[in-house]
Amino acid sequence: MRPRGMVEFWDMGFHFPSARTWALCAGAALFTACGGGTHGQVAVGDKNVSVNVSWAEKKSLEKLELQTHKNLPEEQQCVSSRSPFADDVAEIIRAVNPYMETRTDITPPVRAVELRDHPPRAEDRIAVYLCTGMKPRAYTLYRSIYLSGDFIGGLKNSSAAWGGESAYRSALAFVLFHEMGHAALNHSALKLRSADQFDLPQEMEADQFAYDAMAASRISVTGIGLARAANN
Ligand SMILES: [Zn+2]
């Protein structure tokens, strides 16, 4: 059964077929709604299982990234530097990039993550876009990540009950790193092969990637509960 958040995304996330088909793990974006109750059981430090992409698949995915960005719904604005959360996300990206440099196991290689206002990203980068007017909370298309400003704002507003600023930072990092897991592990290639092929194993892999990245970046895990709660 598809979790509620997921249905919400598939039904309302986009108004055009390509992004609906290719966007990953959107409305839900995360663990609980996408992955369901397995968190905490994933061992930190295990090697991630990435999806092998052929040269042709890589080219197709890169093309799809550009097309999808060009065809974003009119109400969705993704100029990251205009987002009130740009500094918060940039700070987390700075914290995680030294870890990304150590991930020489990722193929095609990823050297860094960067906040962008528009494509194209460099071939060895993961691009992050902060968007307004975006229905899903987060989604990843190959190596482009889209995060909803409303969702981030919701995390911030709810963070007081979870420990305030540090919980907010932690929750935001977890959401971003989970999507980075989908990006780095080439989960979009599965979508390219079969639109239905993206489920629990990929969610667990993305969670594991996020836990590893948080540990390596010395970001506390206090906000993971907040991120989960916000996702429900
Ligand atoms: Zn996911």
Instruction: Give me the pLDDT at residue 197, please.
Output: 59
**Residue 136: predicted pLDDT:** 86
> Are 34 and 5 contacting, i.e. CB atoms less than 8 angstroms apart?
yes
How many whole angstroms from 30 Cα to the centroid of ligand 1? Answer: 4
SS3 assignment, position 224: helix
Q: Return phi, psi of residue 179, to 5°.
A: -65, -35
- Distances from the Cα of 82 to the Cαs of 18, 35, 78, 131, 223, in angstroms? 26, 32, 8, 9, 25
* Contact between residue 25 and residue 139 where contact means Cβ atoms under 8 Å apart: yes
pLDDT at 41: 37
3-state secondary structure (DSSP) of residue 215: helix
Cα 155 to ligand 1 centroid, rounded to whole Å: 17
Q: What pLDDT is stored for residue 230 in this prediction?
A: 86
- Ligand 1 centre and the CA of 162: distance in Å? 22
If you measure from the C-alpha of residue 180 to the centroid of ligand 1, how many angstroms do you get, rounded to a whole number? Answer: 9
Q: Which residues contact 83 (CB under 8 A, 6 or more apart)?
A: 89, 130, 131, 132, 149
> E strands of 73-226, at which residues?
112-115, 125-131, 138-141, 144-148
- Compute the half-sphere exposure of residue 173: CA atoms within 13 Å on the CB side of its CA: 29
190 CA to centre of ligand 1 in angstroms:
13
Q: Which two tokens stand for residue 225?
A: 């509960």
Distance (Å, whole) CA 44 – CA 217 = 13
pLDDT score of 196: 67
| Residue 128 dihedral angles phi and psi, to the nearest 5° | -120, 130
Distance from the CA of 29 to the center of ligand 1, in angstroms?
Answer: 5
Six-digit token string for 206:
């993305």
Spacing, Cα 98 to ligand 1 middle (Å) = 23
- Please state the separation of Cα 12 from the chain's center in Å: 19
CA of 173 to the centre of ligand 1 (A): 14
Distance 26 CA to ligand 1 centre (A): 7
The list of the chain residues with pLDDT below 50 reads: 1-44
Ligand 1 centre and the CA of 102: distance in Å? 23
Give CA–CA dist 139/129, Å, rounded: 10
Tell how far the Cα of 81 is from the centroid of ligand 1, in angstroms: 25
Model pTM score:
0.82
* Beta bridge mates, 51: none
Look at residues 63, 65, 36 and name the one whose alpha carbon lies nearest to residue 206: 36
For residue 57, report the distance from its CA to the centre of ligand 1, in Å. 21
Report how far residue 209's alpha carbon sits from residue 32's, in angstroms, rounded to the nearest whole number.
Answer: 15
pLDDT (0 to 100) of residue 224: 94
3 state DSSP class of 132: strand
Q: What is the pLDDT of residue 9?
A: 27
pLDDT at 1: 31
